[in-house]
Amino acid sequence: MKRLLLFALTLIFITVSNQASAKKHKGYYYQIKIYHLQTKTQEARVDKFLQDAYLPALHRAGISNVGVFKPVAKDSLEQLIYVYIPFKKADQFLSLEKKLNQDAEYATVGKDYLQAAYNDIPYVRMESILLQAFDGMPKPQVPNLTSPKTDRVYELRSYESATENLSANKIGMFNDKEIEIFTNLDFNAVFYGQVISGPRMPNLMYMTTFNNKADRDKHWAAFKPEYAKISGLPQYQHNTSKNTILFLYPTDYSDI
């Protein structure tokens, strides 16, 4: 009974702590845009728009280190393009559309995509996920990799939880324990973030990077014994209901 009471009190403490942190949050916000494409023509069209118009416009708007990725595993039904955009503050995200609309070069260079007709669409649909950086790593990092882009592995993970409180518990676990392990083992994390708007909630997402698949497997093998030291602690039980892993590679025009 005492152990259950202690567990309940710990959950309450972690939840309150995370809510208080959110109110004084001064970290970054991240947007992940996901393009769903059906044809090679659509893929080439979106690639051209992102490379020639969108990323240069973001740079002019003061947004750097934008990532553009594609899944390592190909899908026969559709191709996906992931665009990762870091924002220094929420206002930068909210004002971006207005800035882009005022950018004449963006309008000109991106005309084929921006002015596409209803019967000549450049993509099937687009998703948008907005995240808030963890307190344990409030700013994104640029991965320090030495291999060619074609060999690199970017691992995007999402951890869904059964309730908001359990998600707050998992985020607390990252802030207090897991981020330190990843950092000590040199996982080259790009970001850790809580999903504050998206199709799967409550949820958190993070991205780690590696020179190649062998490098990735070596890092995770080193992670397991370190994680075992904390995963069995009573205050962190049952805080994840679904873990999704996606392997990506950067396009040749991606900033990172």
Using one digit for the tens of pLDDT, what is the confidence trace for 132-142?
999 999 999 99
CB 96 within 8 A of CB 88: no
Task: Give the C-alpha separation, 180 to 227, whole Å.
Answer: 11
Domain spans of the chain? Answer: 2-250
pLDDT at position 27 is: 95
CB 185 within 8 A of CB 222: yes
Residue 243 clears pLDDT 80, i.e. is over it: yes
CA distances from 87 to 62, 72, 118, 195, 247 (A): 9, 26, 31, 14, 23
- Rounded to two decimals, the pTM is 0.87
Orientation of helix 2-23 relative to helix 164-173, angle to 10°: 80
Mean pLDDT of 106-128: 97
User: For residue 37, which phi and psi values (nearest 5 degrees)?
Assistant: -125, 150
Amino acid code (one letter) for 253: Y
The percent of residues above 70 in pLDDT, for the chain, comes to 90
User: Kind and range of the H or E element at 132?
Assistant: strand 125-133
Residue 226 clears pLDDT 60, i.e. is over it: yes
3.30.70.100, 3.40.630.10, 2.30.110.10, 3.40.50.880: CATH of 2-250: 3.30.70.100
Task: Give the C-alpha separation, 87 to 161, whole Å.
Answer: 25
Query: Which candidate, 5, 22, 14, places its Cα nearest to that of 236?
Result: 14
Mean pLDDT of 218-224: 98
190 CB neighbour count, 10 Å cutoff: 24
